[in-house]
């Protein structure tokens, strides 16, 4: 049964806490706590319209249980190391492991007699309502409605609070005296550590020991560097530190056969190192010391240095994950190797957002893409001061996605039929105005220059061809749903399909115009039509007849056209027949002494288009074919592209709506197609 709308999504179980100091002033290590969180009874909780009972049998534990102060994630106190729900109650144990003011407040307040209470958060995954007067048995106890039973729930958090509700539970914390002492460190070592960004004042004794050992030479020393002087540089430096810590943790995870407990321990150490401003070298040493006690199947070895992340490496990783054809032509071997080494299992959309955001200074720990992470990923961060060329340059998700999407768009564009390239003249235009070119008329034939040396004027004529580019396009959005679903196909498969759509649109416009010539363009009155069937037995005779039509073509002034065709355009059914005629050197005759040499061998290029038999277009035919002059000389059809760009283009940008978290993409193509010179081709009727 779904939970009523008025009830909260979290069951917050509050309990009184008693904190006592641990025995032995010389003990080291973080304080520990033990929590009796729930005894299985009925609870009156704020925000709920009826009492609640949590069925202990249905309680599961989240992967990482972190203790904080007052349920504020920014006030970390420690982590839970053990959880148990036997003997009719829920108990937790953990460590006050965070080097934060909140942890010190909890421990020091307890030492002075303050009574803390605990608040355990559980997410009700399955909630049952018990009506008034109805009885139910849960946790070995009998309860009468109205009430709610959380049949299945997930423990997702624990907090220290000042007031609670469940008086039957308790929490105790054993505080180690060593935790209450200020770090006592040599000033030289402190200055050296702070120079690397380590927060010495908030360091635990273990961290202090690690820093001192590192300084003494147990690990390679780092040269002291001056801290960044501006906010942007500080964010960049901290982001680099966070990435370094995660890379160290990944090394230990990848090179070990870890149990789930080992993985949890390494993840907690990683979170702690990031939160406490620990340096990468200090964390590496701490990991070596901590993992020396963990069972291992082989000796832990360090991995080769990870390549520095760059915009090109991220682009290569996305293209590799999306299986871009010809990827080796788009990226260098070094870029592809770096992408493969860093993202062996491929890169996801969420990871891409995080990587770009962190490169721009983002230091949050959110798993999903939040508005803040999105702002950094979009490059919407404070711009750095002017420095050396290229230093602290900002990259952005739209920039990366634009480049990647364009590569997949071009792949999709080129995957469709491209026969049009072989039968059209291609022109570059600078705008969308109608463009004119004059028809072939023959009135520019040179005239003999007389003794006076005067050269007479020729005439261009009034007849002309026209063409004009228009814009065709589509728009779509990479939505927050795509990002949350980690759908990499949104930036690889979708642009590919946009490319296919661009090819479809262009071919539709081109062949509609070409086939429209059937009625008046290719006509007996224009002397550019030739009869004859196309079969294996008749193809030679049909070609001879078409060539004769070309030979009788004249210019408007009556002089011979003087140009020869060099290509054949035909429907699919005739393709192999024409190809055989072009590739065979012998002709087989039926009777009589006839020449056996095929003089057409190698004479013509053969091109075939399925659009010639597209029954949705006026003028389609399964038998008509065309003998054409090179379109660069005398085209029957011309195609104009804006600024000479033959393929579509895709542009990306941040979604403009305040209510939309994502990226917008628009793909468009600027072109125009128009019939030109009838003398440029002869149509074979196929009959």
Q: In the chain, what are the domain boundaries?
A: 11-180, 187-398, 527-634
What's residue 409's pLDDT?
87
Going by the DSSP 8-state scheme, the letter that residue 518 receives in this structure is: G
Give 181's pLDDT tier (boundaries 50, 70, 90): very low
Amino acid 259: pLDDT: 63
Tell me the pLDDT band of 570, cut-offs 50, 70 and 90.
very high
Q: Which residues contact 72 (CB under 8 A, 6 or more apart)?
A: none
Which of these ranges, 142-146, 287-291, 364-368, 463-467, has the smallest mean pLDDT? 287-291
pLDDT, averaged across the chain:
76
Residue 605, CB-side half-sphere exposure with 13 Å CA sphere: 13
pLDDT at 250 over 50: yes
When pLDDT is cut at 50, 70 and 90, the band that residue 386 belongs to is: very low
- Dihedral in degrees, nearest 10, Cα atoms 231, 233, 235, 241: -150
Contacts for 366 with CB less than 8 Å, ≥ 6 apart: 372, 373
The distance from CA 544 to its chain's CA centroid, rounded to whole angstroms, is: 57
Share of the chain above pLDDT 90, in %: 17
pLDDT at 205: 59
Range from 104-108, 288-292, 323-327, 617-621 carrying the lowest mean pLDDT:
288-292
Distance CA(69)–CA(101), nearest Å, equals 10
Whole-number pLDDT of residue 460: 54
Q: Is the pLDDT of residue 294 over 50?
A: no
Residues 557-590, buried b or exposed e (16+ Cβ, 10 A)?
eeeebebebebbbbbeebbebbeebbeeeeeeee
pLDDT at 648 over 60: yes
Average pLDDT rounded to a whole number, residues 286-307: 49
DSSP code per residue over 524-553:
GGGT-EE----STTTHHHHHHHHHHHHHT-
**Predicted local confidence at residue 367, as pLDDT:** 66
On the question of pLDDT at 18 being above 60, the answer is no
Residue 178 — very low, low, confident or very high, per pLDDT cuts 50/70/90?
Answer: very low
Give the mean pLDDT of 564-591: 86
Residue 82 has pLDDT above 50, yes or no: yes
Of 57-71, 206-220, 267-281, 483-497, which range is least confident?
A: 206-220
Banded model confidence at residue 377, pLDDT cuts 50, 70, 90: confident
Residue that wins the pLDDT comparison between 657 and 631:
631
Task: State the pLDDT at residue 200.
Answer: 65
Q: How confident is the model at residue 193 (pLDDT cuts 50, 70, 90)?
A: low
Lowest mean pLDDT among 3-12, 205-214, 414-423, 486-495: 3-12
Note the pLDDT tens digit of each residue in 324-334. Answer: 888 888 899 88
| Dist. CA 587–CA 597, nearest whole Å | 6
Helices (H), 98-220: 101-111, 187-195, 205-213
pLDDT at 299: 34
What mean pLDDT comes out for the span 516-524? 82
Q: What is the pLDDT of residue 359?
A: 83
Q: What's the pLDDT tens digit per position in 632-645? A: 888 999 999 998 89
Alpha-carbon distance of 384 to 393, in angstroms, equals: 8
Question: What's the rounded mean pLDDT across residues 647-667?
Answer: 71
**Is 217 a residue whose pLDDT tops 60?**
no
Q: Is the per-residue pLDDT at 302 higher than 60?
A: no
Q: Averaged over 413-438, what is the pLDDT?
A: 87
Kindly tell me if the per-residue pLDDT of 599 is higher than 80.
yes
pLDDT digits (tens, 9 = 90+) for 444-475: 566 777 787 777 766 555 566 778 888 888 87
Query: CB of 248 within 8 A of CB of 273?
Result: no
**Is pLDDT at 223 greater than 70 in this prediction?**
no
What's the rounded mean pLDDT across residues 363-374? 75
Measured CA to CA, the distance from residue 673 to residue 637 in angstroms comes to 7
- Residue 388's pLDDT is 34
Q: Which of 79-88, 284-293, 460-469 has the lowest mean pLDDT?
A: 284-293
Among all chains, which residue has been given the structure tokens 């004119």? 436
pLDDT band at 651 (very low <50, low <70, confident <90, very high): confident
pLDDT, mean of residues 596-602: 82
The predicted pLDDT at position 165 comes to 46
Give the whole-angstrom CA distance, residue 29 versus residue 371.
38
Render 435-492 in DSSP notation, one character per residue: EEEEPP-STT------TT-PPPP----S-EEEE--EEEEEEEEE-HHHHHTT-GGGGT
- Tell the residue number behind the tokens 């003794």, with chain if given: 451
Instruction: Report pLDDT for 16.
Output: 47
- pLDDT at residue number 196: 56
Q: If you search the block for the tokens 């706590």, which residue do you land on?
A: 33
User: What is the number of residues in the chain?
Assistant: 687
Task: With cut-offs at 50, 70 and 90, classify the pLDDT of residue 628.
Answer: very high
Cβ proximity of 54 and 127 under 8 Å: no
pLDDT over threshold 50, residue 1: no
Residues 6+ apart with CB under 8 A from 481: none
The answer on pLDDT for 304 being more than 60 is no
Sign of CA dihedral 550, 554, 559, 562: negative
Query: Would you say residue 568 has pLDDT above 80?
Result: yes
Report pLDDT digits (tens) over 344-365. 778 888 888 888 888 888 877 6
Q: 478 versus 499: which is more confidently predicted?
A: 499
Q: How far apart are the first and last CA of the chain?
A: 74
Number of C-beta neighbours around residue 15 at 10 A: 23
pLDDT band at 25 (very low <50, low <70, confident <90, very high): very low
Residue of 192 and 538 predicted with greater confidence: 538
What is the rounded average pLDDT of the residues 622-651?
Answer: 91
Q: What is the pLDDT of residue 232?
A: 53
pLDDT grade for 28, boundaries at 50, 70 and 90:
low
Query: Residue 372: how many CB atoms within 10 A of its CB?
Result: 12
pLDDT over 80 (residue 373) = yes
pLDDT attached to residue 214 = 62
User: Among 44-53, 207-216, 474-483, which stretch is predicted with the lowest mean pLDDT?
Assistant: 207-216
Average pLDDT of the segment spanning 341-346:
81
The yes-or-no verdict on residue 219 having pLDDT over 50 is no
């Amino acid at each position: 049964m779904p939970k009523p709308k008025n009830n909260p999504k979290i069951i917050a179980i509050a309990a009184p806490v008693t904190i006592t100091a641990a025995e032995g002033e010389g003990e080291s290590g973080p304080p520990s706590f033990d929590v009796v969180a729930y005894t299985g009874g009925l609870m009156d909780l704020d925000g709920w319209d009826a009492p609640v009972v949590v069925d202990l049998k249905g309680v599961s534990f989240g992967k990482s249980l972190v203790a904080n102060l007052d349920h504020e994630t920014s006030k970390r106190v420690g982590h839970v190391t053990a959880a148990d729900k036997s003997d009719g109650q829920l108990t937790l144990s953990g460590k006050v492991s965070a080097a934060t003011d909140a942890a010190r407040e909890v421990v020091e307040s307890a030492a002075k007699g303050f009574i803390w209470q605990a608040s355990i958060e559980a997410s009700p995954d399955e909630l049952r309502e018990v009506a008034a007067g109805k009885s139910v048995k849960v946790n070995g106890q009998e309860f009468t409605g109205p009430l709610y039973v959380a049949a299945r729930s997930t423990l997702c958090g624990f907090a220290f609070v000042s007031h609670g509700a469940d008086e039957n539970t308790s929490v105790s914390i054993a505080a180690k005296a060593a935790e209450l002492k200020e770090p006592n460190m040599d000033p030289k070592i402190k200055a050296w550590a702070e120079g690397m960004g380590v927060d010495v004042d908030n360091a635990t004794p273990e961290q202090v020991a690690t820093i001192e050992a590192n300084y003494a030479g147990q690990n390679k020393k780092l040269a002291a560097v001056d801290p960044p002087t501006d906010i942007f540089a500080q964010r960049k430096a901290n982001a680099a530190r966070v990435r370094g810590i995660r890379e160290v943790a990944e090394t230990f995870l990848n090179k070990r056969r870890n149990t789930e407990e080992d993985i949890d321990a390494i993840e907690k150490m990683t979170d702690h190192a990031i939160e406490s401003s620990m340096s990468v070298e200090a964390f590496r040493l701490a990991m070596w010391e901590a993992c020396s006690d963990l069972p291992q199947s082989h000796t832990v070895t360090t991995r080769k240095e990870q390549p520095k992340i760059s915009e090109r490496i991220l682009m290569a990783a996305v293209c590799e994950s999306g299986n871009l054809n010809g990827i080796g032509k788009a990226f260098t071997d070094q870029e592809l190797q770096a992408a493969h080494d860093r993202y062996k299992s491929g890169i996801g959309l969420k990871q891409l957002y995080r990587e770009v955001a962190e490169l721009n200074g983002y230091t949050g720990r959110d798993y999903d893409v939040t508005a803040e992470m999105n702002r950094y990923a979009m490059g919407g961060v404070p711009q750095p001061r002017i420095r050396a060329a290229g230093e602290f340059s900002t990259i952005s998700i739209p920039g990366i996605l634009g480049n990647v999407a364009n590569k997949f768009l071009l792949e999709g564009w080129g995957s469709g039929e491209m026969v049009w390239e072989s039968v059209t003249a291609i022109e570059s235009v600078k705008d969308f105005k109608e463009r004119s070119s004059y028809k072939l008329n023959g009135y520019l034939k040179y005239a003999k220059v007389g003794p006076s040396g005067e050269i007479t004027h020729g005439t261009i004529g009034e007849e002309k061809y026209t063409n004009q580019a228009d814009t065709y396009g589509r728009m779509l959005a990479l939505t927050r749903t795509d990002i949350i679903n980690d759908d990499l196909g949104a930036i690889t498969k979708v642009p590919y399909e946009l490319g296919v759509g661009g090819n479809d649109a262009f071919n539709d416009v081109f062949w509609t115009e070409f086939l429209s010539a059937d009625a008046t363009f290719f006509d007996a009155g224009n002397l550019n039509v030739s009869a004859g069937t196309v079969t294996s037995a008749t193809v030679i005779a049909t070609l001879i007849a078409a060539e004769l039509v070309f030979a009788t073509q004249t210019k408007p002034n009556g002089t011979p056209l003087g140009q020869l065709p060099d290509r054949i355009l035909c429907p699919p059914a005739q393709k192999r027949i024409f190809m055989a005629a072009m590739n065979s050197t012998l002709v087989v005759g039926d009777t009589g002494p006839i020449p056996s040499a095929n003089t057409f061998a190698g004479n013509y290029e053969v091109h075939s288009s399925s659009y010639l038999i597209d029954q949705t277009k006026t003028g389609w035919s399964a038998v008509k074919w065309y003998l054409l002059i090179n379109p660069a000389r005398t085209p029957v059809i011309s195609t104009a592209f804006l600024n000479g760009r033959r393929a579509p283009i895709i542009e990306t940008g941040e979604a403009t709506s305040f209510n939309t978290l994502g990226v917008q993409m628009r793909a468009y193509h600027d072109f125009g197609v128009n019939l030109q010179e009838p003398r440029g081709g002869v149509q074979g009727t196929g009959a």
